[in-house]
Amino acid sequence: MQFEGKNAIREALRSVVTINKLLVDQNYASRKDELVKLAREKKVRVEFVPKAALDRKSTTAHHQGYIADAVDFAYTPLEKMLPKTDEPALFVLLDGIEDPHNFGAIIRSCECAGASGIVIPKNRACQVNDTVIRTSTGAIANIKIAQVTNLKEAIDFFKQHGIWVFAAETGGESIYQKNLTMPLAVVIGSEGKGVRPSILEKCDGVITLPLEGKVNSLNASVACGIVVFEILRQRKFND
C-alpha cells in the first residue's frame, strides 16, 4: 500500500496502518518538517531522495514531495469482533460498496456512532486503501473492520451469537417505528443495486428510511449515517 501527499500520509501515520518507509524530497531535508518529525516519533525510516525519484514512483502525480510505503491494512478476524461489554452490539455489513469515499465516510459515521465494527466482503467491493483511510479522517484507527469471503456466513455467525440482522433497504418497516435497541447488525447495500436478494433472504427483516422527495434513494454513506445514529438515539435517548 502506498500513500502520497501530506494529508494522506499524516492520516496514515496517525492510524493503525504500519508505515515501513517515508520518502521525502531531498530539497526539504533542511526544514523542520512536520511529517518527518511525526514519522520519526513513530519509528518510521525516513529517506531523502531526489524529486525525480518520487515522480517515477508516484501513481497520482500529486505526491507533494512525500510518498510512504505501508504494510497492507490488518483486518480483524470475525470471531474477535464481538464486544466484551454489556452494551448491545451494533455491526454494519457492507454488501458491495465500491466507492472508497463512501467506504471512508461510512467508517467515520460508524465510529462516531459507537458501532462495534464493520464487515466487508473480500470480492467485488472496496477494500481498505489510502483513499479510504484518508476519507475516514482518523476514524479507522478506532473501529474494527473484518474482511470475509462470504457475507452470508458472516450473517449466520452473528445470528448464532444472538445478534439480529436487518437489511437497510426499501419496502421494509420505517427505522423510526422499528425497535432497534437489540444487539443488531445492519446490511448496507451497494450504491447502484442495493442489498442483493440472496443477502436479503438471510436477514431477519428489512428497515427503511422514509423518503419524501422525488429521488428514491440516498447515497450509501448518507443512508448508513442516518441509520446508525437513529439506532444510537433509540438506545441512548429514547426513554
pLDDT tens by residue, 45-78:
999 999 999 999 998 888 999 999 988 888 999 9
pLDDT of residue 239: 60
Beta strands in the chain (DSSP E): 2-4, 19-25, 45-49, 66-70, 90-95, 117-121, 144-148, 164-174, 184-189, 205-208
pLDDT of residue 214 exceeding 80, the answer is no
pLDDT of residue 31 exceeding 70, the answer is no
Each residue of 132-156: pLDDT tens digit?
888 887 788 889 999 999 999 999 9
pLDDT of residue 5 exceeding 90, the answer is no
Confidence band for 30, pLDDT divided at 50, 70 and 90: low
pLDDT of residue 191: 76
Interatomic CA distance for residues 46 and 22, integer angstroms: 5
Confidence band for 160, pLDDT divided at 50, 70 and 90: very high
Boundaries of CATH 3.30.1330.30 in the chain?
Answer: 2-70
Sign of the Cα pseudo-torsion (8, 131, 80, 233, in order): positive
Greater confidence (16 vs 142) lies with: 142
In CATH terms, the superfamily for domain 78-237 is: SPOUT methyltransferase, trefoil knot domain (3.40.1280.10)
Boundaries of CATH 3.40.1280.10 in the chain?
Answer: 78-237
In CATH terms, the superfamily for domain 2-70 is: Ribosomal protein L30/S12 (3.30.1330.30)
Each residue of 177-213: pLDDT tens digit?
999 999 999 999 987 888 999 999 999 999 999 988 7
Each residue of 215-233: pLDDT tens digit?
767 889 999 999 999 999 9
Coil, strand, or helix at residue 2?
strand
pLDDT of residue 141: 82
pLDDT of residue 183: 96
Each residue of 80-120: pLDDT tens digit?
999 887 789 999 999 999 999 999 999 999 999 999 999 99
Greater confidence (50 vs 13) lies with: 50
Nearest Cα to Cα of residue 210 among 175, 161, 236: 175
Nearest Cα to Cα of residue 184 among 61, 93, 103, 111: 93
pLDDT of residue 18: 86
Burial label for 118, CB within 10 Å (0-12, 13-18, 19+), is buried
User: pTM for the complete prediction?
Assistant: 0.82
- Cβ contact 83:89 at 8 Å: yes
pLDDT of residue 122: 93
